[in-house]
Copies of this chain bind each other. A is one copy, B any other.
């Protein structure tokens, strides 16, 4: 369950994302505040439209263009990261820093997304990049699979 965070009330405790916006010196407008809170409350990987729907519940005047503009801004500011799970649209999730780095296991039958972290994998990636003569700046890993019904 998510921590209960007031999405509308201005004098509520700041969310992690609002805090980051402040640290980055971003101008704090009403749409940004609402989007920041919706994002902070999200435990899934919403696409632009899902964000739009959730944001509209709080403030119906906020437009889709603002969702996209804000996501692009947040992405550049390393506040959110954009993911691609193979369907046509981008998904967004709060960037939680290297200490919470993780990847995704996607159930191709249900679309369900599990997050996982594996230190061995992190080390291996870095080593592979280095062996190829690169410094790793980013990487994408998604596993697609089906629930194992019976073990063989």
A residues with CB within 8 A of B: 84, 86, 105, 107-108, 114, 116, 118, 120-121, 124-125, 128-130, 132-148
Interface pair A145/B124, CB less than 8 Å apart: no
Per assembly, the copies of the chain total 2
Extra contacts besides A134-B146, A134-B148, A138-B144 (10): CB < 8 Å: A108-B138, A120-B124, A130-B148, A133-B148, A134-B143, A135-B148, A136-B144, A136-B145, A137-B144, A140-B140
B136 touches A143 (CB 8 A): yes
- Residues on B with beta carbons closer than 8 Å to the beta carbon of A139: 141-144
Q: Contact between B143 and A129 (Cβ–Cβ < 8 Å)?
A: yes
Pairs A–B under 8 Å by Cβ, sample size 19: A84-B84, A86-B140, A105-B128, A105-B132, A108-B137, A108-B138, A118-B128, A121-B128, A125-B143, A128-B143, A129-B145, A130-B148, A133-B147, A135-B148, A136-B143, A136-B144, A136-B145, A137-B145, A138-B143
